[in-house]
Amino acid sequence: MRLEGKVAVVTGAASGMGKAIAELYAKEGAKVVVSDLNAEGAEAVAAGIKENGGQAIAVKTNVADLNDIHAMIDTAVQEFGTLDILVNNAGIMDNMAAVGDVEDDRWDLIFEVNTKGVMRAIRKAIPIFLEKGKGVIINTASTGGFSGAHAGAAYTASKHAVIGITKNTGFMYAQKGIRCNAIAPGATMTNISASMNNMNEFGASRTKVTQGVIPRVGQPEEIAQVALFLASDESSFVNGVVLAADAGWTAGF
């Protein structure tokens, strides 16, 4: 098994890509902290992992809350003894609003969850990784992290920032045995659209230009396979990279 004996924290793991990552990591031998704001969903995922012979615990986490992030990482160490892999997967969408229609409260919430939560979780994990002399960080970015045409201004900016954090962290700690990479999923079957409300008609109409050339929609399990590669020793020479998993959606532009 490729993650035998490793301890992993996966945020946003009650459904979608996070659930698929948590389940695959457990199947590959990792002890998994299933973290999500949806406590019931996280418990169900952890229970399923244990029913299949894996090790997992569920932790209710609001990644916009600093205390929750600290508790999440502390729980991993208390329950499983250490932390080896941090997957910052939790995120929310905007309402496709262009910058002229962005509301401050929505902008702030999206950055609290998508960007500040990622920074805070990494910051909490770094001392553990430095003491061990190794550690892996995987951030779920988005094709919206390098394209301006896939979402509204707030989500796009938040994911551009996640890519910046990924590259900077990978570079800064490259000689400390710590790797930090990001996955940029294209259109994938998840429930992130549930976080969208009051859709902005203008912004949504503009994003349709690129949505019309999506080759196909991906499955969460396909993203999980990328996350497994990045967490394993097979990617030992991969650091500070943003890996697009989008069936070629962004390859032509």
Give me the active site residues, please. Answer: 155
DSSP string, 46-63: HHHHHHTT-EEEEEE--T
d(C-alpha 244, C-alpha 156), whole Å? 15
Residue 34: phi, psi to the nearest 5? -90, 105
Q: Which residue has the tokens 């020479």?
A: 237
Structure tokens at 205: 């109409």
Q: Are 75 and 33 in contact (CB under 8 A)?
A: yes
Cβ-proximal residues to 123 (8 Å cutoff; 6+ apart), any chain? none
d(C-alpha 184, C-alpha 141), whole Å? 5
From the centroid of its chain, how far is CA 242? 12
Q: Are 120 and 221 in contact (CB under 8 A)?
A: no
- How many degrees, rounded to 5, is the angle at CA 220 between CA 157 and CA 218? 80
d(C-alpha 251, C-alpha 152), whole Å? 21
Q: Which residue has the tokens 């069936």?
A: 247
Tally Cβ neighbours within 10 Å of residue 70. Answer: 14
| Side-chain-side CA neighbours of residue 225 (13 Å) | 7
